[in-house]
Amino acid sequence: MQASDRFNINSQLEHLQAKYVGTGHADLNRFEWAVNIQRDSYASYIGHYPLLAYFAIAENESIGRERYNFMQKMLLPCGLAPEREED
């Protein structure tokens, strides 16, 4: 692998990280990463109707109620953020 290849790969990765929030970056902590994963999962559940119908049947709720519940869970999927230590 040449130096130009490494530079190209790194610049592509930086472009993806700037464009899409869920791809992460070097300063992303564990809590923020978990929030991204949970929100992506809930968005996928809402966006794929058969999966949404499966959850609705499993929880004995209507599809609209399940969609509403998932959207509410997207607000704080992992609870409140932990306190950060000031250096």
Tokens describing residue 80: 């409140």
Sign of the Cα pseudo-torsion (62, 63, 64, 66, in order) = positive
Burial of 66 (0-12, 13-18, 19+ CB in 10 A): buried
Tokens describing residue 84: 């950060």
* 60: phi then psi, degrees, rounded to nearest 5: 55, 45
Q: Is pLDDT at 56 greater than 70 in this prediction?
A: yes
Between 9 and 85, name the one with better pLDDT: 9
Q: How many residues does the chain have?
A: 87
Per-residue pLDDT tens over the stretch 9-55: 888 878 877 787 767 777 788 888 889 899 999 999 999 999 999 99
Banded model confidence at residue 1, pLDDT cuts 50, 70, 90: low
